[in-house]
Structure 1
């Protein structure tokens, strides 16, 4: 064989080998090297409102792209979540990943998510570390894991120094004028509002406001269980001794709350528009400074509360800001507004059957779950958005706190996009060195965040942080019961749907009726309520609560 002929054969063989390698590398699902940093953009849909963006346009997103080569095209919900998810299902064409919030069961039933077990075993050491203790709560009936929840606590659990959950909120000026009384019962809370409204009758004030939009109706229906001394277990209360679940939709605690709202309405103190306003209108009314009180969750009313906080810092007057109070029905009731350590296993992020490259995606998820990237997602960059003292404690300066609290900065830096809706260390998690993963739970940050007005209030009530005004949570291994998966089309799910429709029909009537009509409408409502299969729902929750008590995962 001549050297020329040998060279030609060799060249052909090299070309064939290159073609084979190229083909195997472009097959889509799994890069041959397993460690490709080639730039790629995946699609991500979040079933909550927000601004659409490419993550590489943010500081955090660009750093993560430099690490992994991955950029995300984020799309957020516009309109109704059920309609949007239904469109995906009907077309069988999905974004690469979805965070579906309350519509997750629809996607699971449609087979929209791929199983993650093998991907995690091969490419997810950090995912195993973070989620391994909770696997028994994450697996579907077929043994597969189809999504990663967003609440896996890592390290020691650290309670929040400031209120993050539900409360009965009242404007600070109302407390100030009354001499800062200690308010415990609903009667005391409403008397506070009535007295202030009476003294300021010519100021166009709203005594009490409620949020009742279709997807947030629980802001109205959840209040009775909190007033009765229970945490947010959804539509049920769980007996601490028997662990039996009871739907309180027809109980006296619900009737009592609605009757109080009815009386406020008669007195002209309840905003009738509560039953027709949308979410933006609700937030706008809270921001206006004209509303004296309301019940809601801090995270849901947060935009309005933050706006008021920022305005008070600029003006030096915090009268219009709200303070959350642990209001209950009677003096002998222990409040339970603050959540215990929990694992929410019916919400999360899943990779869809349309995903272009599940391996790259699971590797991106795994990379997020390093201590370093959890610090990046929550604290940001050392020297810019946080600092570290000589003892290794993370803190933020007053200027850093102001900067990281501004929506525009949070968007451009990426906090708004990476703090929550990804595989993450759950709220209350700590790092190996004892620092809080979430900046808001770091005591040093909480103390530095307090204004002079905050400090005055805390001193008056004899506490060091606002959460200390509330009772510590009792241990509830099942918490929260609302995270128990309920199959679409099951008797329990049909009950939930029909109950919601029934309450949306009757609760406005009950609140807005003439007082003499209230009992008759309540009787009509409870008659219809008891036609529903409430027993199927209560038995399912009771059964699942028992399972969680027996095998709760990480404690």
Structure 2
């Protein structure tokens, strides 16, 4: 899977929220409310490719919106600076509700009652929502009200059409616009380690798993009184992939999901049940036997995991930058205020089994099996689609990502966006939440993080070279200097072109053999991973044999054959273009 990830992941990265300016009293999560605007809205700002589809409505309306991820704050979008500007333009506010508890249970309850919020971002449960016919088709709404949706998502419309009737039922999280820019930070996968560990070891070059685990083991041994956790993993709910994806990356492949794709032959081989998976679990088993692995990894929820990463007690771990953003932002904010805290900021490493080519960084991709949709319970779908279309105007993409000129960014004589040191210092996690940068960082329709605006400026603030350089602390400059690099991504190999990327986003029909394979495989992983990681070393081989015996009953050959066929189709489409 992946979230936000993506891109990052991902990317990224990417994890944030809000507060500040007017609220709605609607407590019914399945209805919208409307009130007369106290101040008439101004006409929507014009877009670079045409006028707004309609005049701005004079009535204010609040729509309910459910997001199938936990760990973020429930807010009204108009309580943020950005959300208030968008409300002034459109009259629309969204009341956001994030997941509490189990995603499948929450979605199942909605389906059983056939009652939904106006808008949903069901994340990994999107197939269940589609199967229940909970989303309405968007084709006609886009045609009537979505000139900017067509401009941004138009090149992908054929890939957005669902097997359920051939319609577009949701908008994927983002689409590439303009030139592709690279991320100087790491919002995708990496093995992370506290900077103090590298400093104490003399800034060694760490490229293999053996080097990485020895680095952690040596540091913990030298600090017996600090009650340190050598490493941990994330296994909570749908985020289990943060543990199960690791063999793929150690083998030198990007995050294509359940398969490693040969770029020349398009052969798609699963790594579940492979020697690489066994080696990864044996590594965790060895670390556990040495007291270096947090056994709670298999019971902690996401919030507990983030709290541990923020505690300064975890020496190293694997995860995607976008998924740990809350923890890393807190550590970086602390380091900006007190440079001595820089030791606890995490540094990314490109670790593979043999220390050769890595592919942690994502190539440009298109995620078509996650997104935001309007449900059949929505009272006014046209207002919602108009809001999304208005968001996709270039000036509003600038607003959502950069903020307001003079407040959160400036423009130099060459038209380049930048931030002053004062602005960089004030825009910490708390500010991002209040301003709305967190609220609008992922789930709403938007330009992809690697996009550029028509004037050449980067869509993502952190991708703008002028901002990255200004944002570096003395601690950043020191460690980058020690490794002779200018950006954190410089130590990672460049991503190879993969027209299908990511393979995990290729849609699978509900109840299909491919989906059944993934469900059974995931069940086996969740049944055996904890046993294998926490077993006595002498019991490992026997448990692995039991796991393999069950895994080998799955039709893995059929799954891999289907995947290769889908990849061949996508590559053919790319070549035709």
**TM-score, normalization by structure 2:** 0.88
Contact (CA 8 Å) 2:76, 2:93: kept in 1 or not? yes
Partner-residue secondary structure (3-state), 1:60: helix
Deviations 1:404-451 (A, max 9, x none): 222x32222111112221111111010011101111211111111111
Relative distance call for 1:202 and 1:62 in structure 2 (3 A) is closer
Deviations 1:175-203 (A, max 9, x none): 11111011111111111112212222332
Does residue 319 (structure 1) correspond to residue 340 (structure 2)? The answer is no
Structure number with the higher helix fraction is: 1
Does residue 153 (structure 1) correspond to residue 176 (structure 2)? The answer is yes
Q: What is the distance in 2 between the residues matched to 1:57 and 1:286?
A: 29
Q: What is the distance in 1 between the residues matched to 2:564 and 2:248?
A: 17
Does residue 515 (structure 1) correspond to residue 547 (structure 2)? The answer is no
Partner-residue secondary structure (3-state), 1:246: strand
- Partner residue in 1 for 2:324: 301
Partner-residue secondary structure (3-state), 1:372: helix
Contact (CA 8 Å) 1:224, 1:253: kept in 2 or not? yes
Deviations 1:460-497 (A, max 9, x none): 11111001111110001111111111222212111111
Contact (CA 8 Å) 2:56, 2:89: kept in 1 or not? no
Note the C-alpha offset of 1:521: 1.1
Contact (CA 8 Å) 1:156, 1:430: kept in 2 or not? yes
Note the C-alpha offset of 1:361: 1.4
Contact (CA 8 Å) 2:149, 2:389: kept in 1 or not? yes
- Partner residue in 2 for 1:117: 139
Of 504, 527, 531 in structure 1, the residue corresponding to residue 549 of structure 2 is 527
- Partner residue in 2 for 1:48: 69
Does residue 395 (structure 1) correspond to residue 413 (structure 2)? The answer is no
Relative distance call for 1:543 and 1:388 in structure 2 (3 A) is same
Of 264, 280, 290 in structure 1, the residue corresponding to residue 303 of structure 2 is 280
Of 437, 440, 453 in structure 1, the residue corresponding to residue 475 of structure 2 is 453
- Partner residue in 1 for 2:108: 86
- Partner residue in 2 for 1:9: none
Note the C-alpha offset of 1:399: 2.2
Q: What is the distance in 1 between the residues matched to 2:543 and 2:54?
A: 68
Q: What is the distance in 2 between the residues matched to 1:544 and 1:74?
A: 36
Partner-residue secondary structure (3-state), 1:39: strand
Of 109, 115, 133 in structure 1, the residue corresponding to residue 155 of structure 2 is 133
Note the C-alpha offset of 1:505: 1.2
Note the C-alpha offset of 1:279: 1.6
- Partner residue in 1 for 2:353: 329
Of 56, 59, 66 in structure 2, the residue corresponding to residue 38 of structure 1 is 59
Contact (CA 8 Å) 1:234, 1:482: kept in 2 or not? yes
Note the C-alpha offset of 1:35: 5.4
Note the C-alpha offset of 1:145: 0.7
Partner-residue secondary structure (3-state), 1:418: coil
Relative distance call for 1:136 and 1:553 in structure 2 (3 A) is farther
Aligned ranges for residues 156-555 of structure 1 at < 5 Å? 156-317=179-340, 318-331=342-355, 333-406=356-429, 408-552=430-574
- Partner residue in 2 for 1:6: none
Contact (CA 8 Å) 2:170, 2:372: kept in 1 or not? yes
Q: What is the distance in 2 between the residues matched to 1:76 and 1:288?
A: 24
Q: What is the distance in 1 between the residues matched to 2:480 and 2:374?
A: 45
Note the C-alpha offset of 1:313: 2.0
Note the C-alpha offset of 1:205: 1.6
Partner-residue secondary structure (3-state), 2:216: helix
Note the C-alpha offset of 1:459: 1.1
- Partner residue in 2 for 1:27: none
Deviations 1:43-66 (A, max 9, x none): 211111222222222111111111
Relative distance call for 1:35 and 1:211 in structure 2 (3 A) is closer
Q: What is the distance in 1 between the residues matched to 2:454 and 2:205?
A: 39
Q: What is the distance in 2 between the residues matched to 1:39 and 1:268?
A: 58
Q: What is the distance in 2 between the residues matched to 1:402 and 1:480?
A: 35
Q: What is the distance in 1 between the residues matched to 2:97 and 2:304?
A: 23
Note the C-alpha offset of 1:533: 2.4
My pick for the range that moved more, 35-44 or 61-70, is: 35-44
Q: What is the distance in 2 between the residues matched to 1:461 and 1:132?
A: 43
Q: What is the distance in 1 between the residues matched to 2:307 and 2:136?
A: 41
* Structure with the greater alpha carbon radius of gyration: 1
Q: Which segments of 5 or more consecutive residues in structure 2 lack a partner in the other structure?
A: 1-52
Partner-residue secondary structure (3-state), 2:100: coil
Contact (CA 8 Å) 2:102, 2:237: kept in 1 or not? no
Deviations 1:140-179 (A, max 9, x none): 1332111111120000011111111110011111111111
What's the RMSD between the two structures over aligned residues? Answer: 1.7
- Partner residue in 2 for 1:14: none
Note the C-alpha offset of 1:280: 1.8
Q: What is the distance in 2 between the residues matched to 1:120 and 1:292?
A: 49
**TM-score, normalization by structure 1:** 0.91
Q: What is the distance in 2 between the residues matched to 1:248 and 1:57?
A: 45
Partner-residue secondary structure (3-state), 2:370: coil
Partner-residue secondary structure (3-state), 1:250: coil
Q: How many residues align?
A: 522
